[in-house]
Amino acid sequence: MSKHKFLSPIARRDLIKWGTFVGAALGLPQWKVFEVLETSGGSALAQQAACLPVNRAVHIEAGNGGFAWFQLLWPHNDVAAGGNTNAALHRIGAYTMAAGTTNPLTVNADTPWKSLPGNRQVTAIMAGNNQTHAGSANTITTIATGVDLMAATSAVQAVSPTLVPVIAVGANTPYGTATGAARPARVNNAAGIVGLFNSAASSANGALVQAQDAAVFETGYKAFLGMHAAAGRSTYLRTNVTGKTAANLLGKNLASQLQVQTADDTRYGVNAGTATRISEFARSLATAAKAFKMGLTTSMVMPAFNDDPHGAFTNMANLQTTITGIGKALDAFMEDLKVPDPSCAGSTIADNLVISIHGDTPKSPVQKGGWPDGTPGGANWVYVLGAGYLKTGWFGGISRASVVTGFDPATGNTVAAANRATQAAAAGAAILHAVARGDERTVKNHTNAVYQGLIKPITS
């Protein structure tokens, strides 16, 4: 029996993390890293590294009314169907229904991801309270007492080690607590994401800037290959230190690859006339896509807009430009990730990505004049792209007559009245379920919320 079998789970994760780190520094494709891991650590270790049981995640927190823009992409079904010229609608008479969704979902020309099949479309869930100007939607992201959705996502993703497990853009982007959650790396903006990987040692006058740096890389690589054989020796610590020293050069190489280029701006719809709030949103997504493709992180928490657009409908040209820009950026993000996923053969990174969008207030869907912060019944909701693990379409909603309906977390059926905290816990648990690729046992480590009515039955 191979002694590799007796590597503890922590040792396995550390070895995978180190291997991915050194492999990236050397410019190796991830399949080569997995091959090396199989040679040095056995097939079980390589299999764990090659197909990990979690999805990546992006949590978009659109605070201070910025969440309102998203309801123009996925409006409430009955409000859109009503076509009232006083409602918060920008394409009256031009709405269609997404095909193949579990429940109805209204879309329009600006809605992103319309080409996805119905079973992978957006899930819109009535959940939590309107928290006008709170800056964040903690009644939506609280999935159990003292447990935050974003932090729980990180804890679930711990089985997929990366250099920076969680990147939080913005000083005030919410990130609560959960057992086993990683500490987020906070940056101010998209450029700050790049800065995370810009090592001082590899910059001008740095310790690794000279031509002989290549020799350091080679030493680190040989140390990695020899790690298994040396594991039982006292010199192993020195080898480990050598590998870490070599990895300092990783910063410059990866920072240059993470930089947003002119071609990226073009794909994401950014030009000289793009409003800063839109360009920053688009560039954060573009940089996140690069970080995901390079295996640098598994979770991104980012803000959106924070612009409190009360007067949006007084300038329809600006409103249309804003909505078009948001939709184009989200589409470009998914297109960028339609590349083979090294964490699971036969799929793309886009296939294995969960996106949640929430905010303190979505503003009124039934009144565009002054676009009031208040919503019927003080309701709120969340949009989720669930990677195929969630039922799709609206669960609950608001009618053209301002009537609020909810859903039964156990069945998903529409109900006339529902506890918003219960619905929020169900929504958060369902999002976590999608991140955990349908592993309900993992979800129960963080919440006992009932949410089965929102998820698809596991068939295999």
pLDDT value of residue 237? 38
In a domain, 217, yes or no: yes
pLDDT value of residue 227? 45
Higher pLDDT, 3 or 454: 454
In a domain, 460, yes or no: no
Residues 252, 288, single domain; the answer is no
Write the CATH number for 95: 3.40.720
Residue with tokens 């969680």: 166
Amino acid identity for residue 262 in this structure:
T
Angle of helix 420-435 versus helix 149-156 axis, rounded to 10: 20
Residue 224, pLDDT > 50, answer no
Residues 207, 252, single domain; the answer is yes
pLDDT value of residue 236? 40
In a domain, 1, yes or no: no
Q: What is the DSSP string of 59-120?
A: EEE-TTTTTHHHHTTS--HHHHHHT-TTSS-SSTT--EEPTT-SS--EE-TT-TTTTS-GGG
Q: Which two tokens stand for residue 137?
A: 């939607």
Helices (H), 259-294: 262-267, 276-293
Amino acid identity for residue 40 in this structure:
S
Q: Which two tokens stand for residue 148?
A: 């935050």
CA distance 168 to 148: 14
In a domain, 125, yes or no: yes
CA distance 165 to 167: 7
Q: Are strands 397-398 and 404-407 parallel, antiparallel or unpaired?
A: antiparallel
Q: Read off the pLDDT of each residue in 256-269 and give the average, rounded to a whole number.
A: 94
Distance (Å) of CA 376 to CA 70, 74, 255, 258, 380: 17, 17, 46, 43, 9
Residue with tokens 């480990």: 240
pLDDT value of residue 417? 82
Residues 137, 37, single domain; the answer is no
Residues 338, 249, single domain; the answer is no
Beta bridge partners of 56: 353
Residue 370 contacts residue 77 (beta carbons within 8 Å): no
Residues 300, 378, single domain; the answer is yes
Q: Among residues 216, 237, 256, which one ends one of the domains?
A: 256
Residues 263, 248, single domain; the answer is no
In a domain, 119, yes or no: yes
CA distance 216 to 277: 42
pLDDT value of residue 48? 47
- Give the domain range for residue 206: 7-50+198-256
Residues 240, 288, single domain; the answer is no
Q: What is the pLDDT of residues 26-61, one digit of tens each?
A: 555 555 555 555 555 554 444 444 567 899 999 999
Buried b / exposed e along 421-441 (16+ C-beta atoms within 10 A): ebbbbbbbbbbbbbbbbbbee
Q: Which two tokens stand for residue 369?
A: 């004049």
Residue 428 contacts residue 149 (beta carbons within 8 Å): yes
Q: For residue 112, what are the contacts with CB-CB under 8 A and spacing of at least 6?
A: 73, 326, 327, 328, 330, 331, 334
Q: What is the pLDDT of residues 390-439, one digit of tens each?
A: 999 999 999 999 999 999 999 999 999 889 999 999 999 999 999 999 99
CA distance 319 to 425: 33
CA distance 171 to 179: 22
Q: What is the DSSP string of 210-265?
A: STTHHHHHHHHHHHHHTHHHHTTSTTHHHHHHHHHHHGGGHHHHHHHHHSPPHHHH
Residues 292, 428, single domain; the answer is yes
Q: Among residues 256, 272, 294, which one ends one of the domains?
A: 256
In a domain, 71, yes or no: yes
Q: What is the pLDDT of residues 356-399, one digit of tens each?
A: 999 999 999 999 999 999 999 999 999 999 999 999 999 999 99
Q: Among residues 222, 240, 256, which one ends one of the domains?
A: 256
Residues 79, 216, single domain; the answer is no
Residue 152, pLDDT > 70, answer yes
Number of domains in the chain: 2
CA dihedral 233, 239, 244, 250 (to 10 degrees): -130
pTM: predicted TM-score of the whole model, two decimal places? 0.82
In a domain, 298, yes or no: yes
Residues 179, 276, single domain; the answer is yes
Higher pLDDT, 295 or 368: 368
Residues 224, 340, single domain; the answer is no
Q: What is the pLDDT of residues 110-132, one digit of tens each?
A: 999 999 999 999 999 999 999 99
Residues 333, 359, single domain; the answer is yes
According to DSSP, residue 181 is labeled P
Q: What is the pLDDT of residues 333-347, one digit of tens each?
A: 999 999 999 888 789
Burial class (CB in 10 A: 0-12, 13-18, 19+), 17: middle
In a domain, 324, yes or no: yes
Residue 109 contacts residue 115 (beta carbons within 8 Å): no
